[in-house]
Structure 1
Amino acid sequence: MRPSQADTMTTRTPDDLIDTIYEAAFIPALWPSLLDDLSARTGGWGGMLFTATPEAARWTASAATSDFFTDFLANGWMERNPLVERGVKRDHAGFLTDLDLFTIEEIEAEPMYRDMRRLGGGWHLGTAIAVPNGDTLVINIERRHRTGPFGRDHADHLDAFRPHLCRAALLAARQSQARIDATIDNLELLGLAAGALTRTGKLLASNALLANAMPTLIEDGPSRIRLRHKPSDDLLVEALATSGNREAGVPGRSIPIPASAESPPSILHMVPMAGASRDLFSRASVLMVVTTLAIGTAPDARLIRGLFDLTPAESKIARDIATGMSIPEIALRHGLSGHTVRTQVKAIFSKTGVHRQSELSALLNGIPLL
């Protein structure tokens, strides 16, 4: 028998819960316990808050259901979730149950429901909330299948809190954007061109110095930024394609951009934004910083290795080239054959995006000015 609303109310008063909702707008760590409270009020197992976005999923969940939702995502249901698809299309300013969106026959025939029952869940109560960055936030309360479906009384009960959840989401989105804008503006004060990217490379925000680099160095495309230098852009595509998981985020990477008739040699640095993988209200995952190089003194081999992900042997050879040594001289210095050195030089070219030793030397000699 399904628990009644009265049986599942928590000890936290409605006013206390509303206060917590607004606190969660500024303290993201409060969302899991808040989801627990919303779940307990409806006889649920736990809850999840996630973004319905074409990019990588951002989510948080109650402690009780965190493993359940991890398995749910691992099985690929986030990308093909008929429940979210129908719920978003319904455009209902309130919570909806499974039976508001599906018939019993459709539920029994839907593979996603069968898999969720296997994982321990099976019934849902959710709502979709649009936020200013274009994403849709979904609050989903989960119930074990054996408990029975949610009823309209449960949805009506949570509807009383939905306006506060919407306002909290709006505040959180604005807070996230303000943090990003402040970071980028501070870098401009330091003389650095910077911008914020999504995990897939779409430019979300930029400072004036980065805008000045467009379009001679960087082009702002509809789906992602593009580097005018094709080999460097290929390295950018590779870096975006090897983005880490939700926990790891996008790995750091430095991409060289050789000089052109319009711009000096530069390096594009991709820096993971701390905590961005857990920020439900911002698409920003990568801080992009562009530094312009000038001829200076060849850098330490360890710095070269870190910037371009070279092996220890490759970084030493790269530095030797930067100091003006020829391949025979490098081979003699390290006790290697000329063929071995040439093979390693080709690998260095591939990782740094250059094609000639002179280009590599010019690129590396500017690094100490970073």
Structure 2
Amino acid sequence: MGEQPSADDDFHRLIDSIYESALDVTAMPQALGLFSRYTGTESPHYLVWDKLAGRARLGVTPHGCFAAQGAYVPEALRALASQPARELAGTHAGGAMEGASCYAPAHGADLERGVRLLDTSEVCVLMGGTGRGTRPDIPFDVTDITDVTDGAAHRRHRLARVLPHWARAARMQQRNMELSGLAALGLAGLDTLDFGVMVLQADMRVRYANVWAEALVQADSHLALDHGVLRAREPALHATLHRLLERAMQPHGTGPAAGSWMHITSGGQPVPIIVLPLVSRQPVEGPWQLPFAMVLMGNSESRSVLDSAVLSSLFGLSRKESLVAIRLAAGDTLNEIAGREFVSPHTVRVHIRDILRKTGTHRQSELVRLLHLLPGVALERVARQP
């Protein structure tokens, strides 16, 4: 017959569950259930309170998680949420909580009255519960020195041992929520762009693609997403994309842009593909640092290019220089621009030289990249301007 788990086994299982729940809120009901059994706490509840909105963001019991509207908020926790935070009193058994800004009684926790695990300008995280075997009409006060029974002392010891971990986990959870919210906002912003954005690994595995990039690949039979890997059906295009990615992922970089390529879709639309190095401002050291590149795919449906008024106000380009820049962004060659504008190729070269100087770019590929990142309007409307 197997051995029964010891108290230490129960403690470490509970602590593992607490920190797991900081990363995955769906694991929190199980953590509260283990907490209830280990500390003898009945009806434990965990609450994330939005101080600005005056309502719950999240409520958790051993029976499940509840959204803001469905979160039951005990009156004791609602009252505690409105009180100013106080620094943690004393050092709990099992280690001090350095720098914690929360409220907890000196001997572990008075869960009947609520414990403030975390307090910021926006949210506070609260816990509550009742002592097993206590009368519901009498608050359970672990600081009551008249309660000297072995059971009460044992429970106080266990609460004092566990609650610092709940407070640390609450700080972890809040930080994860903040980072997740920022990431969601950033991705939502990329979905509003009218050109494709992809983040690729060296093996062409796609780590992110916005809505436009996904739609462009789906509509183009020359490209495909095969189990999360970008593939070009034509060997020449596949080799070109690999070469651009390799240049972008060189250890010390090759400048702001690794290169560009004018891709012709299966529908005959020219789409500029620009590959850039993607380096974090705070790079992760060690094996978690993977090389990535960002791929920008021009708008192949509307074929929008720049307004000459935008170019004039941003870079001081003349009308003729603006039109030459617009034609370059649209993929026209030097001779095609000369024919359209009724000037010599030499004159177009002079315009391009002046455009590069005024825009601070050094090559036509850099200029095209810059132009495709600025606001766009229809080419036909720009061409008709007086």
In the superposition, the TM-score normalised over structure 1's length comes to: 0.35
Q: Which has more radius of gyration?
A: 2
In the superposition, the TM-score normalised over structure 2's length comes to: 0.33
Structure with greater helix share of residues: 1
Which protein, 1 or 2, shows the higher relative CO under an 8 Å CA cutoff with sep ≥ 6?
1
